[in-house]
Amino acid sequence: MSHTPLVLILLAALLLGACATTKNTGEVIGSAKSLYLAGKKDLDAGYYDSAIEQFESLEARYPFGKYAQQAQLDMAYAY
């Protein structure tokens, strides 16, 4: 019974260590066309939050591209 606190501490350290090694920045990367198509696909499927994320990323990266204006319209629809 004296080993129980030690085991719990080691288990907690392992679990927290596993969380610290994940490298998920949440950043969406891609070309203007791929971001627009991914956003449009999500929008058509009803995944509005994901579509908005794609369109916002497109607008931030390519504000004057040919897909930016349509992305703004689609983003308004998604909201």
Per-residue pLDDT of the chain (79 residues; tens, 9 = 90+): 566 777 667 666 666 655 544 444 455 577 899 999 999 999 999 999 999 999 999 999 999 988 999 999 999 999 9
- CA angle, 73 as apex, 64 and 31 as ends, to 5°? 45
Among 28, 46, 39, 45, smallest CA distance to 74 is for 39
**Residue ranges of domains in the chain:** 29-79
Instruction: Give residues with Cβ within 8 angstroms of 72, minimum separation 6.
Output: 55, 59
